Amino acid sequence: GAVVSQHPSWVICKSGTSVKIECRSLDFQATTMFWYRQFPKQSLMLMATSNEGSKATYEQGVEKDKFLINHASLTLSTLTVTSAHPEDSSFYICSALGDGRLTYNEQFFGPGTRLTVL
């Protein structure tokens, strides 16, 4: 149980285009999902907290107009990188907060999406 999927697993796009990444909780409902960014050989950096049915909460320094988050259902959150530039190239990982079967705010992570902007 507690499986989270991400799609696509990797994407290459041209500078100036927009890219949408999907995060799905497959066997549980997740009212809260998180989006992280990870640079090579570094830890995870929280970008935003996504709550179903409400606006996402962005961490300081993360542009909400650049990284659009939509959490339209209890099993799906999307991250859209708008007008992507080479510096947006990174490994993006989502996670979903356990649905109450778990007690300790454990997060279950997706496999990540490798974004390369040319």
43 binds another protein (CB under 8 A): yes
From 69, 71, 89, select the one nearest 79 (Cα to Cα): 69
56 binds another protein (CB under 8 A): no
81-110 binders of another protein (CB under 8 A): 91, 93, 95, 97-98, 103-110
Which segments of 1-118 does DSSP mark as H helices, in order? none
Residue 14 sits at φ, ψ, to 5 deg, of: -85, 150
Tokens of 94: 């989502």
Stretch that binds another protein, among 12-20, 36-44, 64-72, 76-84 (CB under 8 A): 36-44
Helix or strand (DSSP H, E) at 46 = strand 44-51
Which stretches of the chain bind another protein, using CB under 8 A? 4, 6, 32, 34, 41-44, 46, 49, 91, 93, 95, 97-98, 103-112, 114
